[in-house]
């Protein structure tokens, strides 16, 4: 799933949380995004199927933009653009 109205952006940083279960992928993503500038993109790799619900909710609640979700079954990849004031 990709937002149609966004220009494809290259990730500024990649965070691999493979093998971690909730809440660690969300927590680690939050820490990584704090170190980025507004408009930067985090590529987040997860293996916890719960991330398919957790990460979109985290992005929405944090004011970030979820640019892409790629569910490969055993691995989920998210592109998250850091929002303003977060």
Alpha helices in the chain (DSSP H): 24-34, 51-62
Beta bridge partners of 81: 41, 65
Reported in sequence order, the residue ranges of the chain that DSSP labels E, i.e. its strands, are: 13-16, 41-46, 65-71, 76-81
- Establish whether 46 is a catalytic residue: no
From 20, 22, 45, 69, the catalytic residue? 22
Catalytic residue ranges: 22
């Amino acid at each position: 799933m990709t937002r149609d109205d966004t220009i494809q952006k290259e990730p500024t940083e990649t965070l691999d949380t493979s093998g971690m279960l909730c809440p660690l992928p969300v927590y680690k993503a939050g820490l990584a995004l704090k170190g980025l500038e507004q408009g930067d993109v985090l590529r987040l790799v997860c293996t916890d199927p719960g991330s398919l619900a957790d990460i979109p909710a985290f992005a929405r609640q944090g004011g970030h933009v979820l640019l892409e979700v790629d569910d490969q079954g055993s691995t989920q990849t998210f592109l998250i653009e850091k929002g303003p004031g977060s």
